[in-house]
Amino acid sequence: MIVPVILSGGSGTRLWPLSRRNHPKQLLNLVGKHSLLRNTVERGCNLNGAQAPVVVCNESYRFMVAEELRTVGIEPEAIFLEPQGRNSAPAIAVAAFHIRNKYPDALMLVMPSDHVIRDLEKFNSAILSGVEPAQSGEIVLFGIVPDRPETGYGYIRTDGEFETMIPQAVQGFVEKPDLETAKSYLNSGEYLWNAGIFVFRPDVFLEKLEQLEPEMYSACQNAIAKAHTDLDFVRLDEESFKSSPAKSIDYAVIEKVDNLSVVPFDGGWSDIGSWDSLMNERETDSAGNVVSGDVLAKNVGNSFLHSSGRLLGVVGVADVIVVETADAVLVAGREHGQDVSGLVEELKKQGRTEAENHCKVYRPWGSYETVDSGDRFQVKRIVVKPGGVLSLQMHHHRAEHWVVVKGTAKVTVGENEILLQEDQSTYIPLGTMHRLENPGKIDLELIEVQTGSYLGEDDIQRFEDVYGRSV
């Protein structure tokens, strides 16, 4: 029995402005028709002997993760919510405690949710070849046979005589190298990229974690023991989980133990960690450009050009990244694609919302999108799915005007309840309890005009919420 463990806590800052903290890259359709998360879940669940997956994710996009799983038609074993990101080792530890308690004879297949793997048949063969050593107590890694000198990955050292799909001993690890060192690794034939994919028994991993990181072990054990169920999710105990040291599985365990095997794999892998790696996964035109959206390019070569909506015109440049979204535009040289995360850090320091959210923000009931804003006013387009219900709420600093554009709205204003059809409207006075519902079978679309002294999203007091949200 194999239990896929999907790690979905990252924010993908190097792919800003498409990837944002509250809508990260694993939830985007960056390669193919579906999100990276959906592709990862299907990849794990299609293995022979695979059980329902365990997902560990950031609580801020829990409903989007749950929706992706529903889209696939897979009911997860559990979705654990991290109250705060503590890197990969604590996330894996809470999954290991759960699986050890419920399926003591199972193996864990740990996979980040943001990878692309083109050859699924080879992937299945590679995972299955790691089952036997994992069952015997090995921690099995999957190393990617490199096809270029890559400075963005850690490396696994082998004896240089490996065969793909055949487990072998690990000789050591090296950190992300500079370009010249990466070239020497490629030429030596002794090194594999560390993919961050593992197969092991949960009891083996937890035994090593207790020896090497007793504080982390105890914190994660308590986080599971004190966890509580919230709708489709399991909320880890906040105080316990936050007390865990923040370390990757590599630093906490993998690089300190000797019961390791690595399976070399050459099935078309990428972690989509930068614009350049995403470019490698997309089709290029005759000039070497990756173009998507409404783009007009003249005398442009070897560039990534993306428009999310507006016309993007690019003339007379080469080796650049130009990405347009509704609220931000990125222009960067391809050689500086890894530096985009630094730009995001600066946005955070300045308190800019562009680091956190897109103009269109997803909620369990649907979505809203900022259309315009100014001094003391804000205009939003709100879409409520059939059956969707916003919380019973009140605002202390703003009033709201709602105009129905499509569908039917069931509106609660104070003690009154009304139905609004297309082209009808209502007014929500400041300080009045209200709720919006979609009782129909098609999407409800409306325009909301907010007026007041403060229009921030934190000006909300919830009295009742069918999705169990307090914030």
Is the domain of 284 the same as that of 236?
no
Tally of domains within the chain:
3
Last residue of a domain, one of 341, 375, 398: 341
Interval 345-365: pLDDT, tens = 999 999 998 999 999 988 999
Is the domain of 330 the same as that of 385?
no
Is the domain of 96 the same as that of 50?
yes
Residue 349 lies in a domain: no
Whole-prediction pTM value? Answer: 0.90
Q: Where are the beta strands (DSSP E) in 250-311?
A: 260-265, 269-270, 290-292, 295-298, 304-307
In this prediction, residue 467 carries a pLDDT of 86
Is the domain of 262 the same as that of 287?
no
In this prediction, residue 161 carries a pLDDT of 85
In this prediction, residue 451 carries a pLDDT of 97
Measured over the CA atoms of residue 412, residue 417, residue 422 and residue 428, the dihedral's sign is negative
In this prediction, residue 469 carries a pLDDT of 73
Strand partners, 366: 363, 384
User: Above pLDDT 70, what percent of the chain?
Assistant: 100
DSSP H or E run through 384 = strand 377-384
In this prediction, residue 457 carries a pLDDT of 87
In this prediction, residue 470 carries a pLDDT of 63
Interval 432-467: pLDDT, tens = 999 999 999 999 999 999 999 999 888 999 999 988
Residue 471 lies in a domain: no
Residue 451 lies in a domain: yes
Last residue of a domain, one of 270, 301, 324: 270
Residue 120 lies in a domain: yes
Q: Which domain holds residue 52?
A: 2-270
Residue 350 lies in a domain: no
In this prediction, residue 194 carries a pLDDT of 96
Residue 116 lies in a domain: yes
- pLDDT at residue 338 tops 90: no
Is the domain of 247 the same as that of 202?
yes
- d(C-alpha 283, C-alpha 330), whole Å: 21
What is the average pLDDT value for the chain, to the nearest integer? 95
Average pLDDT over residues 375-402: 96
In this prediction, residue 55 carries a pLDDT of 97
